[in-house]
Structure 1
Amino acid sequence: MSELDIRELECFLVLAEELHFGRTGQRLYVSQSRVSQLLRSLERRIGAPLVERTSRRVVLTPLGQRLLNGLRPAYAALRAAVADARAEAHGVDGVLRLGFQGTADERVLNAIDTFCSRYPRCTVEITELPLSDPFGALRRGQVDTAAVLLPSAEPDLVVGPVFGTQPQTLAVSVRNPFASRTSLSAEELAECALITPGEPAPDYWRHAQAPTVTPGGRPIPRGPTVTTLQEGIAMAAANRGAMLLCAPTASHHTRRDISFVPVSGLPGSVLALVRRHGADDARLRAFWGSVAEAREPEGAQELPELVPAEEMSRIAESVGAVMVR
């Protein structure tokens, strides 16, 4: 252990994510030359190159990839152990960074309110996640946990409490032939182009939010790809395509140029908390516990009411929440 230098290991982990010396330096608040120096020192310590660097790109060597695979969970466990010890010594305090997709309904905000009432020394900061990148902020360490739309089949992430299943609606322009309908079947989606979240979201996740075929196997045309929820809603309003949204999100975004039509025959939309493997400190355990308590009882059928804007502001102020893009 005396041969290990935590600065070298941290530098290597960030470089393996960024594959760019300049961006690695920016994230670590050091110069690009310092990044090179730390990498060379680690390579000398190991005895072989970990990175291949050309004028155009940076790639890990096979040895570098194997080191990364072993180092990631070990480093996450090390950070969690330190965080746990700190929490045990000082109680649950500091800042919990929560990433969020979709619309904050009453259960979500109540969970935050309950958590902060129990742990007044801990502030919750809420970061809005791009629709097209549900897992990136977690991997980059920008949030501690995230409420994202399922499914999640990411091997480095753990799925926790589920906020509940919500029925699907289709957002269409008032000029769309479907706008006057009171409901649609999933098979009728073959008659419209679905707006789809763009990359870097994995294909399986994108197709879950915007299916490529109906349950009966009919192909569904592709509409525009979008980065954010607001882009998707704007595209729907402009009649560039239709967008599937859960019922609470649809209710929250009511506007005169869009109709929201319930769709039957599709799996419900599910929002759940996700965290990195090994990132399990006292704050996360306490917050996940608060969310689990706030979930609707088994067998409940009623949709949660959305929190009015003034009430949302009150709760946000009481918990110290910060909304950012």
Structure 2
Amino acid sequence: MTQGKDLTVILAAPRGFCAGVQRAISIVETTLEKYGAPVYVRHEIVHNKFVVDSLRAKGAIFVKELDEVPSGAHVVFSAHGVPKVIPQAAIAANLDFLDATCPLVSKVHREVEQHHAAGRTVLLVGHRGHPEVIGTMGQVPEGSVILIETDDDARTVVIEDPENLAYATQTTLSVDEVKDILAILKARFPHIQGPRKEDICYATTNRQAAVKAIAAQADAIIIIGAPNSSNSNRLVEAALAAGCPKATLCQRATDIDWAWLESVNRLGVSAGASAPEVLVEELINTLQQRFNVTLQEVKVIDEDVVFHIPAKLRKA
């Protein structure tokens, strides 16, 4: 039963799961169906507690490192990608592994390898400690990639051979943030080589565009996503940068700060690429219990990207 004031909820679209996340989750689920529990997963398959808990309930066991996995077991690598030493270690430990790395992250891996093979130093624009960055830097020998996190890094980085230089980017960054950093690098190093097609993934770009499209219409925006989800945090930043007075990250409806919503009449809602739509529905249902909710949706683009699971699982 609705009560209280009227609240317009503006849903950004697209939102939630991207093709890479859907593929990674399907790999774990299909591996469980084919081989039975347990199936081990190195690190969180995607950065979302609800998803991880759901897979754990089906028989997935999440581990930090491969030495926690018994010999002969089935193990899945997360969507964020892993350094080359991880598959090598899995083979040495007699583990049957499946790689759930997002194909768009794998694209960045191959770019970095190709630049290294051509004798170029690679500048990787990304966030230190993020699993995707660790995996990308781990495709080539240590010291071959220099991490660029900020504008200041771009302004001060010292390159021994600026004629043999390339860049790549983490796939889940803010489009605007990367644009500024790349502008600095290209001004300093006119011969720097980049990808033929930008590294920031379509889903990150589309979700940021959708949030920007609703920012000016909303008194506040809630982004459903995990605190350790890069693309979800970037959506909060995009909302604020596009003019929304306030925006916050919320893992699920139970985490809502109701005092934060007191002066809000028009609430924007989106979800990071690793957040399932069921959590958006949960949020709306919870809001409907307190407010007279009117729903609107603002769609900036239709998405039809699909990434298939590995062939040996499709045969199941």
Normalising TM by the smaller chain, what interval?
Answer: under 0.3
- Relative contact order, CA 8 A, sep 6+: which one is greater? 2
**Structure label with greater radius of gyration:** 1
* TM-score normalised by structure 2 residue count: 0.27
